[in-house]
Structure 1
């Protein structure tokens, strides 16, 4: 039966929300945005059959050459890999037109593990979750840095540190950092000689604490700056009674995992594949 691929419109709102909320194969990882903000974006696409929306994907590219596929939903009983193969060429062109050079899909649901490779994506890395079940914070050596709450005017300098600390796949630019600053309860920076050299922020989901981000400028790595930022973030969460406390890292990042183990974090066994496709 014929199905058509087209950009999503505001008129699709109810159908998309129903697809995301009521069907089994749906992933929404919008982080600092709401779905409503993106329904009319040129990178929001649907597959429609006989007037019914049967698949929806949303790609978001902000302050980075990498676009993330943050919402994916397919109606029950439909062939998800086939529908994404049908939708992807149009979506890829729209993302490339906005300047994206790479698209990344996160396979939070097992069903997406077959969807992305069917459209030519390759597995880029795996993100693992680590968990801390105690409130112990190890003793740290003296670190000649000042840790303070981040201010909104710090965002450009924080973004500059982020670009040095991470490859483009993981960049947080000024737009995302500003949104995070407004939304999370704890956002700190580390300064040395008046320069911002690292930052971290944490969030709470009920009583569950999560270290969302921790970054140190490469020139200052290996000097316990990251440990200090982690310790301060943990103190904040522990003072609020957060339990458990979690964070994410790449499976191949042994240096960060060693730091987290020192603080009592351990792998939960939760692993999420990151799938990538070049756009140019």
Structure 2
């Protein structure tokens, strides 16, 4: 592998959009957070740092400060000729220093690739939860249970009350900011809300692909949790997925999220 000692580090700028996109398409060591935002979304935020060797991009990290002063590691990518541990040990202190200077309280990462975990653990990160993958085959959806209000399609004008609902339903690192939820809405294939007495009390956002449908976000207002609202929303989604011809529905959830697991 090539030594990293002669590499330089600098902030990314909007002018780097093309080279970053090309680099990420071919990066060997690649961590990308599971969300709806792409690399271009972070170019005007800090820290987004590039590692270059003789003007060639060989690694990058993007972990912009977000809601509640929490920073998710959105992107960490390294060229195949470089050791990701050595790059991480050089790059992360720069990124962390920038985060601290802007009031960051927590940095987090959703580990998808096993090579990333030891790098995080040696840098002071603690494992606090595990994300598990669930799958439902769409052969026979259950009967839609009785529920208050009505389920309808999510509309653009719902975004502001949706953000309020989402931030009440989720705490800490699991909260989504406005730009994330707006991007989720724009990329969704099936998105619905459960409305009661003019108020949104639950919603779901799902995507579809050749592999099937994926439930990307599900939230129920705390005052309505445990009352079958989430079950009604998910059951309605199962019926929609089946009608659209998809053979399976998947979801990722935290290992200790008992309410989600019970659905």
Fold agreement, TM-score > 0.5: yes
Equivalent residue number for residue 248 of structure 2: 244
1:27-46 aligned at under 5 Å gives the runs 27-29=31-33, 31-39=35-43, 41-46=45-50
Conserved? CA contact 1:145–1:225, under 8 Å: no
Task: Name which of structure 1's ranges 10-19 and 34-43 shifts more when overlaid on structure 2.
Answer: 10-19
Q: 3-state DSSP class of the match of 1:190?
A: strand
Task: Give the CA deviation at 1:98.
Answer: 4.6
1:155 is aligned, of 156, 159, 169, to 159
Structure 1 runs of 4+ off > 6 angstroms? Answer: none
1:144-223 aligned at under 5 Å gives the runs 144-223=148-227
Equivalent residue number for residue 235 of structure 1: 239
Conserved? CA contact 1:65–1:168, under 8 Å: no
Conserved? CA contact 1:146–1:192, under 8 Å: yes
CA 1:141–1:36 in 2, change beyond 3 Å: closer, same or farther? closer
Q: 3-state DSSP class of the match of 1:106?
A: coil
- Listed as ranges, the gaps of 5+ residues in structure 1 are 260-280
Q: 3-state DSSP class of the match of 2:135?
A: strand
Equivalent residue number for residue 3 of structure 1: 7
Conserved? CA contact 1:66–1:169, under 8 Å: yes
- Bigger relative contact order (CA 8 A; separation at least 6): 1
Report the aligned-residue RMSD: 2.2
Q: TM-score, normalised by structure 2?
A: 0.88
How many residue pairs are counted as aligned between the two chains?
259
Flag the structure with higher strand content: 1
Conserved? CA contact 2:151–2:195, under 8 Å: yes
Task: Give the CA deviation at 1:210.
Answer: 0.5
CA 1:37–1:175 in 2, change beyond 3 Å: closer, same or farther? closer
CA 1:88–1:30 in 2, change beyond 3 Å: closer, same or farther? same
